[in-house]
Amino acid sequence: MHWGTFNLALHAWDEPAETLLRLAQGLELIMPKLGESVEPVRAERPEPWWRAAGGVETPPLIESEQLHAAQAAVPWRLD
């Protein structure tokens, strides 16, 4: 799974990680840093590294006129 590398959702970028960490209490979980290689057999307890990355700004929502211009520029539907 890839997360935190680009914004595709309406929730905070770290919400999936926080939810997974909270719900996985007592389970083995691997949550590598972005780009980090992990060997599952040697994985250690997850360290919430994303909290230190905090301050990640969510880009502003696209304005309706920008959306209309983008829709006109491509031959497929943009949702």
Position 50 confidence tier, pLDDT thresholds 50, 70, 90: confident
CA 69 to each of CA 33, 60, 62, 74: distance values in angstroms, whole numbers, following the listed order = 37, 17, 11, 9
Q: Give yes or no for a contact between 14 and 49, defined as CB atoms under 8 angstroms apart.
A: no
Of 24-28, 54-58, 64-68, the least confident: 54-58
The counts of H helices and E strands in the chain are 3, 0
Polymer length of the chain: 79
- The rounded distance, in Å, linking the Cα atoms of 44 and 65 is 48
pTM of the model: 0.55
